[in-house]
Structure 1
Amino acid sequence: MDGTADRPERGDVSNSLSGSTVHGPVVQAREVHGGITFNYHQAPAPRPADRRPDQVPRPVGRFVNRRRDLAHLDGVLIEDDEATAHCPVGVVSGLPGVGKTATACQWAHHNQRRFPGGQLFIDFAALRGSGSGASGDRAGGAGADVSEALAMCLRALGVEESYLPAGLAERTALFRTMSADRRMLVVLDDVTHPAQVRPLVPQGAGSALLATSTWRLGELALDGAALLPLDTLDAEGALHLLGTLGGQRRIDAEPEAAARLAELCGGLPIALRIAAARLHTRQRLTIADLVAELTDEQSRLSHISVSSVHEERTVSAALELAYRDLPAPAAALYRTLGCLPGRSFDAALAAVASDLTSRQVQPLLDTLEAASLLGVAEDGRYRLHDLVRLHALEGARQAEPPDTERQIVTRATGHYLALTALADLTIRVDRLRIVDLADVLGVADVSAAVAQSPFAGADAPAQDAIAWLEAERPNLLATLRAAARYGLDRQTWQLSEVLTVLFLHHRHLADWREVAELGADAAARDGVPAAEARLRSLLSRPLLDLGRDEQAREQLEIAERRAVESGHLALQASVQEFLGRYLDRHDPQRAIAAYRSSLALNIQADEERGAALAGYFLGCAQAAAGDLDTALTALEAARRTFLALHDRRMAARALADLGRVRARQGDRSGAAADLSAAAGELREQRAGHYEAQALEDLADVLDDAEQARDCLSRALEIHQAGGSPRAAELRARLAG
């Protein structure tokens, strides 16, 4: 109904996994208390041609009012001439809680048949990952938000992770290409800047874009967008909503009091909803009594007002009344939840934050849900509406000791640090780390902790761990920011380092950059040069992918100095490897020298996998420089080590590069054998992108034209399934 919060539940957005849903089992590790459930299901990705995304959340039940607004959207977004090249854009703006998202979802639901190409939904508040989106984020974060939004759209249209372009411009161009033959609707929720809208306008004839925003975004009118300010409900609409929610008989029994209640609520749906919930749950409470209480609270509105707008002050009054009805333990939990950094949480985090057991906290959560102060998503996670969270936070600042917020952030950080460390270890045990994970987990045997982790019971523990990290990414980022803000430097850099494992698998470049920057700065303040070196060298990766090569070089220079200062040989070797990746672009001969240095340091530090990685990249660099015999030796050594370490994915990649070197040497039969075997191994490892590359190169060295055609057909199948732009080139090659 229009009387719900400003937008639908966020849980199914912030926990979205390209067709997966995550919950989880139980873990106890130091600060983590109580049960935490992960429930991971992954469906096979359909081919892009068969995929019709349907991402817009279903409208809330018993939607009322907004007929004129919906009719206005009809006039704006439905073109009489479906073949027109113009894509209509509508922007619904208004106060938090006024019903923008509910209205947008209602319109999209009623017009599904008009968009056979599908409906995409992007929640920019979830992308920002914390808070209410301060005005400073409007300009500063727009580029990063749009880049990730485009990635989400491309994934929904069938583009796999390995084929996502790194840059904003390339992602924009690919989205335009992939939307050109579709008649589709794009819904953008809670945008804060015009730059977040323009790149996401679909290209297909008959398509449309609908955005919601607290900001008016008047600049978009210059681009032809239609602006629809969504006002609070008029008296008739407010009474209609109250009757729908609280019972029409009660409204009819006290018409004057009901009219006054609607007036005091300012026609804002969230305020009307909470008032109706009190009437529904407390049958002895008359509307006149509620009006009297609400009137008495007017003097207390300013201390939780998010602006000077009267309607938002009325929301504060309604929230204050609902809060004062709570039993003391539930009220205490309410204040605690207001201090949590993330936008969603589960019962385990609520228990840790409030220093309660899961058994103690669950009834209190149920009480808050019954009081309409807490929303529950389909995956079982909880969420406070933004205005409710602000009210709860202000209540904590008034009623609790001054250091309460910091204590809650400290507990939440410890909770996420332990779980992220377990996920990191589950994905790869022998990765270089500076953080002492035994100390973080509070155990003597890290291997035993991994065996008992929430991910250990999954059919594919590593994939389950990555899925959890992806689902929790917005909350992890919000927690990391809060930890840095409160000066928790040790926990900040530790969480930054273990969270890096997510970015090594999924390319969230803006997030990776922020995480590494926060961690590196915290490590510098904490006086741990090894941690600073590690995080600054890792920071060079997203900077390079974002085209910020000079900044990457500056970070690597600092990392080199700090690594030497730390005396950590394996770390120095790693920094040299990252330096080689930078020099590959700018000075190939110096890149070879950097990889040789990394290899020597890894051997000296007895780091087998580090030496194998350095040797692999050294071989690739030598091959690029034309030193084929030396490259062959380096790549063969790297493959042997990867096999000994059971790293079959990297071993297969090395074998494919061996085949490419042999092809350049003129050894076509040897190249064919290596590339054929590598393609098979990569297929077993589900490394489709690298398999397709190996198959294309294999086709070039095969003498049998039919076999070569089979290889290209299989490569085309992979590229098509992943939405790769290479598919068009392969189709042309096969046709020729």
Structure 2
Amino acid sequence: MDHDRFEEPAERTFVRNVLDGTVHGNALQIGRVHGGITVNVPVATPSRSSSRPDDVPQHLSRFINRVSELGTLSAWLDDDAADAVASAVVSGLPGVGRRATVRRLAYDCRQRFPGGQLYVDFAASDGGVGGSVAEALAVCLKALGQAEEYLPNSVDDRLREYRRLSGAHRLLVVLDNVTEPAQVQMLTPKGAGSALLATSDILLGELRLDGVRLMKLDPLDESAGLELLTALCEPEPVRADPTAARRVVALCGGLPVALHLVAARLSMQPHLTLASVARELEDDAARLSVMTLQTPGGERSVSGAFDLAYRSLAPEQAWLYRLLGILPTPSFDAGAVAAAGGLETAAVQRLMAQLVRASLLEATADGRYHLNDLVRLHARHCAELETPEAEQATALSRLVTHYLALTALADRAVQADRLRIADLRDLLRDAPDPFAQAGQEAGQLALAWLEAERGNVLAVLRAARRQALDRQAWQLAEAFTALFLHHRHLGDWCDSLRLGVDAAIADRAVAAEARLRSLLSRPLLDLGEDDRASAELETAVVRAEESGHLLLRASVQEFLGRYWERHDPARAVTVFELSLRLNHEAQDPRGVAVASYFLGCAQDAAGSPEAACVTLRRVITQFESLGPPDRRMAARALAALGRARARLGEVEGARGDLERAAEALRNADATHYEARARIALADLIERTTADRAGARRHRARALEIFEAGGSPEAEDLRRRLAEEDGPQER
């Protein structure tokens, strides 16, 4: 053996081994080799570049509705230039059907993306990537054919590789449960004609800066909800009880997830009917539990979807969410929420904007907010579990006080010198007055606010009674009447006054009870419930006498006279004369004018139109002489004068009075009295002229007013107009 071959040379020779360029796969660089070397090189996973990825999960249940939204999204995918990449994010509250909509579109347009479809779920549950962009890129790279062993380690390297591989294909990328703009920005494919669709609870408005289109899915309306329920339950149950079906859709809040769960319960529990489910859903306390289904894979529920969104909120956002659940109002503005929470309005606006972004709160164009009915129930449930009862009671008391102050200020803006039992000077002394700067328009602004807040004030009234906030409740009911004296929402007026009467009795406020009972007689008379109106007035007279309040006694007699004007006009004249004497005794100019007005009306009804005309002309002057003038009541007196003159045969004068009165009442937003004037005007025109079209216009306007207020007179007027139109050609 020649050992010389293995001897080290006297002088070491260095070998330079250079590897230039990009290496794909394994590389081995060796200077000197002593002995045998075995190199194990892993075999790369075969490339999937030749196979078309199709990773978007299929929507398993039947897909109904969203035709308009699918059309819009499809158009967006086609809208951009051929070398551009279209992208859109679909958001909405949990359970509204974001994922189903996007998956349906992905299924429908798969032929438009020959490179295939990639899918990533950013949710931490259900095997998602938990928000990790690095993991999402890995999912996409593997779908595009890159083996696990060749995945770059850093996010930047993975992103570069993703752009390189996606640039060679026309792809559709679908991302579920996106929470950050970067997730969309980094997963957008590079290939010409590619597209990205994402779903998110969050309104990612900042993505607009990158040209991403945003779509917010709203809950289904009644028609769409019925279509879905019919498809899920089969047509027969829905056709058999359409009323129950509509009620179920409404109580499901338009959320497809709720309708799916209800339909599943119906199919799994044959003894259930749509009517029985509707009755279960009527109970607010149990509604969310009804929308729950136990399956072998675990519980499926609407609450579970909301829980995920709630747990993702920051602590202060979660606190506000619970506070909104405490509020009894169907809608609210930032001022009301700030009052309930004891915070500055600006801080509340910031937090509410964050809940809007999280799709848990809806903002409307008029600056108000509302919760979906099911979200509201979930927020209330969270409050019951996590907010101490004392804190809930404090929030509600603050809200009642807030609405009492605003309603009282609106009442005073509408009519400053009306009789009021509540003494709210201390409450209103430092309260900001939103109507003070409106000048002559203050009354109209106040009425508009009362109309917009009608449902909220009623809800606050009911909550105040439940919580035994009796004094605030009857004071609120008294102030709220300012709306109904102008806009005759008869059902709401009755409800508010009944609540007020009950609260006054509980508070032992005798004068308030008398005032509210006498006011209650007005909507009862308009509803044709004369016996109940008489009973309320009898008690009101007794309570007013007990109170010793002179102006209140005069006012109650006025309301009593209006009852007798309908049943015995001569007796009404006597009662109004008593009211007039009491008002003179109390030295109240407005009370004198009001009692005189009703006296004139009663004189006309009792068959003395000449005396009525004398009284009513004097009354018009009295109302116009008040400081400030009461133009609404002056217009009512003018209308009454027109009716009296019509009975005297003064046709032209009567028509002029009624026309001027109707317009003045419309301008004063006293629509109920406007309707009365227009009916009298239509009758006069019809009796004395051939202008049937003119008479019909006035009746049509009166019908519009009666329908808006829920007046029972609407049906008779509607029938009369139909008879005037005659049979219709077919």
Give the TM-score taking structure 2 as reference length: 0.56
> 1:412 offset after TM fit, Å?
0.8
Query: Which of 482, 491, 494 pairs up with 2:472?
Result: 491
Partner in structure 2 of residue 370 of structure 1: 357
* In structure 2, distance between residues paired with 1:370 and 1:313: 25
| Matched residue SS, 2:388 | coil
- Give 1:520 deviation, angstroms: 0.8
- The residue that corresponds to 1:680 in the other structure is 660
Once the two structures are TM-superposed, the CA of residue 673 in structure 1 deviates from its matched residue by: 3.3
Correspondences of 1:323-472 after superposition (within 5 Å): 323-443=310-430, 452-454=433-435, 456-457=437-438, 460-472=441-453
2:458 to 477, 483, 489: 477
Paired position in structure 2 for 1:579? 560
Post-superposition shift, 1:713? 5.6
Structure 1 Cα separation of the partners of residues 403 and 539 of structure 2: 29
Provide the rounded CA distance (Å) in 2 between the counterparts of 1:453 and 1:473: 17
Distance in 1, Cα, partners of 2:227 & 2:681? 40
Aligned mate of 2:588, from 587, 591, 607: 607
**2:496 is the alignment partner of 1:515:** yes
Query: After superposition, what is the alpha-carbon deviation per residue over 1:136-156, rounded to whole angstroms, capped at 9, x for unaligned?
Result: xxxxxxxxxxxxxxxxxxxxx
Counterpart of 1:506?
A: 487
Q: Which amino acid aligns with 2:532?
A: Q
**1:318 aligned to which of 305, 322, 329:** 305
Amino acid across the alignment from 1:322: A
Preserved CA contact (<8 Å) 1:423 1:466: yes
3-state SS, counterpart of residue 456 of structure 1: helix
Is the Cα contact below 8 Å between 1:672 and 1:698 reproduced in 2? no
Structure 1 residues 389 and 189: alpha-carbon distance in aligned structure 2, compared to 1, 3 A threshold: farther
* CA distances 1:378-423 after superposition (whole Å, capped 9, x unpaired): 3332222333323322332333322222111111111111111111
Distance in 2 (alpha carbons) for counterparts of 1:421 and 1:437: 8
- C-alpha separation in 2, matches of 1:731 and 1:313: 56
Among the aligned pairs, what percent are the same residue? Answer: 46
**Hey, what's the Cα distance between the residues in 2 that align with 1:533 and 1:578?**
11
SS, match of residue 422 in structure 1? helix
Residue 648 of structure 1 deviates from its aligned partner by 2.9
Q: Report if aligned partners of 2:413, 2:435 keep a CA contact under 8 Å in 1.
A: no
CA contact (8 A) 2:681 2:698 kept: no
**Structure 1: where are the runs of 5+ without partners?**
1-63, 73-95, 104-186, 192-207, 232-237, 242-261, 270-301, 444-448, 703-707
1:607-630 per-position Cα deviation (integer Å, ceiling 9, x unaligned): 222222222222222222223443
Counterparts in 2 of 1:13-412, with a 5 A limit? 69=64, 221=239, 305-307=288-290, 309-310=292-293, 314-412=301-399
- The separation in 2 between residues aligned to 1:543 and 1:334, in whole angstroms, is 40
Q: Residue 678 of structure 2 aligns with which residue?
A: 692
TM-aligned CA deviation for residue 533 of structure 1: 0.7
Following TM superposition, by how much is the alpha carbon of 1:526 offset from its aligned partner in structure 2, in angstroms? 0.8
Give the 3 Å change call, closer, same or farther, for CA 305–537 of structure 1 in structure 2: same
SS in 1 for 2:453: helix
Looking at structure 1, the residues matched to 538 and 387 of structure 2 have their Cα atoms a distance apart, in angstroms, of 46
User: Could you tell me the TM-score, scaled by structure 1's length?
Assistant: 0.56
Secondary structure, counterpart of 2:419 in structure 1: coil
SS at match of 2:393: helix
Q: Is 1:719 paired with 2:699?
A: yes
Q: 1:678 touches 1:694 (CA, 8 Å); kept in 2?
A: yes
Q: Counterparts of 2:340 and 2:418 in 1: how far apart (Å)? A: 31
Q: Residues 423 and 637 (structure 1 numbering): CA distance in 2 closer, same or farther, change over 3 Å?
A: same
Q: How far does residue 515 in structure 1 lie from its aligned partner after superposition?
A: 0.5
Corresponding residue of 1:653 = 636
> In the TM superposition, what whole-angstrom CA distance separates every residue of 1:285-312 from its partner, at most 9, and x where no partner exists?
xxxxxxxxxxxxxxxxx99953373278
Indicate yes or no: 2:612 matched with 1:636. no
Q: 1:626 aligns with which of 578, 602, 607?
A: 607
Contact 1:216/1:227 (<8 A) preserved: no
**What is the one-letter code of the residue matched to 1:320?**
D
> Distance in 2 between the 1:554 and 1:524 partners?
16
Q: What is the one-letter code of the residue matched to 2:354?
A: T
Separation of aligned partners in 1, 2:578 and 2:486: 26
Question: Partner amino acid for 1:648?
Answer: R
For the residue of structure 2 that corresponds to 1:348, the secondary structure is helix
1:557 offset after TM fit, Å?
Answer: 1.2
Question: 3-state SS of the aligned residue for 1:618?
Answer: helix
User: Do 2:421 and 2:511's aligned partners in 1 also have CA atoms closer than 8 Å?
Assistant: yes
- CA distance in 1 between counterparts of 2:495 and 2:233 reads 25
Question: Structure 2 vs 1, CA of residues 699 and 67 (structure 1 numbering), >3 Å: closer, same or farther?
Answer: same
Separation (CA, whole Å) in 2 of partners of 1:379 and 1:642 = 36
The CA deviation string for residues 63-92 of structure 1, in whole angstroms up to 9 with x for no partner, is x998665599xxxxxxxxxxxxxxxxxxxx
**Deviation at residue 535 of structure 1 after TM alignment:** 0.6
Task: Give the corresponding residue for 2:545.
Answer: 564
The alpha carbon displacement at 1:599 in A equals 1.2
Cα displacement (A) at 1:461: 2.7
Aligned to 1:295: none
Instruction: Give the 3 Å change call, closer, same or farther, for CA 699–547 of structure 1 in structure 2.
Output: closer
Deviations 1:617-665 (A, max 9, x none): 2222222222344333332332221221222343243234334434544
Greater mean alpha carbon deviation, residues 401-410 or residues 629-638 = 629-638
Q: Over aligned residue pairs, what C-alpha RMSD do you find?
A: 4.5
Distance 1:513 1:303, change over 3 A: closer
Query: Matched residue of 1:356: which SS?
Result: coil
Q: Secondary structure at the match of 1:554?
A: helix
Preserved contact between residue 655 and residue 684 of structure 2 (Cα < 8 Å)? yes
Taking CA–CA contacts closer than 8 Å with sequence separation of 6 or more, which of the two structures ends up with the larger relative contact order? 1
CA contact (8 A) 2:222 2:246 kept: no
Alignment: residue pair count: 470
